[in-house]
Amino acid sequence: MRLSQPAWPRPLPTKLVVGCATLGPIGRKLPAPGTWGSLAGLLYFAVFFQRASVAAVLVATAIGGYVAVAFCGEAEVRLRQTDPGQVVLDEFVAMPLCFLGWRLLEGAAPSWALLLGGFALFRLYDILKPFGIASLQRLPAGWGVVADDLAAALAACATLHVGAWLWTVVR
């Protein structure tokens, strides 16, 4: 199976494509745009998915991930850069995956601590790209932009669950 860049965003205006990929001013105007995009994704999770089922989070992330692949890949073309730092839609879409199984995490620690921990772990894995996450960036076009963030979010989720489990055992 060969992955290719979705073609449907090509006729869209550059301002719309880049605006979506950068989440407007978040990616273009703020320092450390990946961190701000992740913070926006944390808010996205807290508002829309904190009480959602695992299936709902997975479906929303699959749809959002495909849209992100399309917009982030097309933004790469328009900006003439590979995985530009100002493109943060990928972080935004990936953040809810950090908290898959939220109901299992609740009670292990205060919600604020779990949210902060998931956010910090995601940023750590997104920046360092361990466990083969870095190799996902070699996927073509928008797939490489988004896949490493999805993997970083899943690694953060696994770490968060192990940490919550250890916390309940030690207490």
Whole-model pTM: value is 0.95
Dist CA 117 CA 155 (whole Å) = 12
Dist CA 78 CA 81 (whole Å) = 8
Assigned domain for 148 exists: yes
CA–centroid distance for 64 within its chain: 10
Number of domains in the chain: 1
Assigned domain for 2 exists: no
Give residue 158's pLDDT: 97
Assigned domain for 35 exists: yes
Give the torsion through C-alpha atoms of 112, 30, 65, 9, to 10 deg.
160
Give residue 1's pLDDT: 63
Where in the sequence is the domain holding 138, given as residue range(s)?
14-170
* Residue ranges of the chain whose pLDDT lies below 50: none
